Structure 1
Amino acid sequence: MIQHPGGFWRRLLGNLLDAIIIGIPIGILGYILTGDTEGNFFTKLLNYLYYLIVPVVWLGYTVGKRIVGVRIVKVDGGKVGLGAMFLRTFVSGLVYVATLGMGLIVSAFMVGLREDKRAIHDLIAGTYVTTDSHQL
């Protein structure tokens, strides 16, 4: 049962904060370790692992989501697992690439206009973003 879905602006701000607080340091670390400025495999892998693992071990939060007060949960309100996060990050990423970014634009409209605020990646993974703090 979907309760208190997180809206577009909160989710966008959470993603921007993750990019600044986590993404930039990972990019700098990747550059220091590899000398590659063009988005190397190491940097992409660390970013992917961050979005895959942190919500699983931190009750659906990433750093940015925690700051803005939203978290990822399963549609039944339960904790997300590795399977759901794999679908949410990797499989949906393939969908967004295969649609040349159009899927991402559609997802933004879905979050802004749907009552449950679920994007394509939420539908694929059986998740949603809520403003409820953890109650597990």
Structure 2
Amino acid sequence: MDHHMNVGFWRRFGANLLDAIIIGVPLAIISFVIFGNGDNAFTNVVSFLYSLLIPVFWGGYTIGKKICGIQIRRLDGTPPGIGTMLLRNVVGGLIYGITFGVAVIVSAFMVGLRQDKRAIHDFIAGTVVVHDGSE
């Protein structure tokens, strides 16, 4: 893929922040109303399914990524499938978890400093985050 289309740290961070606000806040409120607290398995499962499935059904977008004009793509330029997203989110998440977040910091530097702007989870899944051409 053309590396000048790859998205750097701040735009990716902004998209994730928008997703957290747009999805996380309403989920926490719903969870609080239904379960009496905003931090439980319901919220975690729905958030996980959102980040896993929405990019599969919506061509590499989440709501935050769509607003920011960016999308997840496989290295051949095609949208991610369920297998790709499982590798990206589950295996990537496991790596981040077992390193107690150290790999998250490494990934942030990778996105900020590498020419191809790819994080650890991108390498695991064979993905890249690119500008969608909407701007």
TM tier relative to shorter chain: over 0.9
Spell out, residue by residue over 1:17-51, the C-alpha distance to the aligned partner (whole angstroms, 9 max, x if none).
000111111111122221134x2001000000000
- Whether the aligned pair in 2 keeps the contact of 1:18 and 1:62 (CA below 8 Å) is yes
* Structure 1 unmatched runs, 5+: none
Cα distance in 2 for residues equivalent to 1:89 and 1:28: 25
Q: 1:98 to 1:87 in 2, by over 3 A?
A: same
Quote the Cα distance in structure 1 between the aligned partners of 2:21 and 2:56.
21
Aligned to 1:14: 15
For residues 34 and 116 of structure 1, what CA distance do their matches in structure 2 show? Answer: 43
1:133 offset after TM fit, Å? Answer: 4.0
TM-score when scaled to structure 2? 0.94
Distance in 1 of aligned mates of 2:103 and 2:97 = 8
Aligned residues: 133
User: Residue 96 of structure 1: SS of its match in structure 2?
Assistant: helix
2:98 partner amino acid: A
Alignment of 1:1-136 (within 5 A): 1-3=1-3, 4-37=5-38, 39-133=39-133
Amino acid in the other structure paired with 1:103? A
Gapped regions of structure 2 (runs ≥ 5):
none
SS of 2:100 mapped into structure 1: coil
Moved over 4 A (4+): none
Contact 1:18 1:64 (C-alpha < 8 Å) held by counterparts: yes
Percent same amino acid among aligned pairs? 53
Q: CA RMSD in A?
A: 1.3
Secondary structure at the counterpart of residue 71 of structure 1: strand
TM-score (ref. length: structure 1): 0.93
Q: Distance in 2 between matches of 1:88 and 1:123?
A: 8
Contact 1:10 1:68 in 2 (8 A): yes
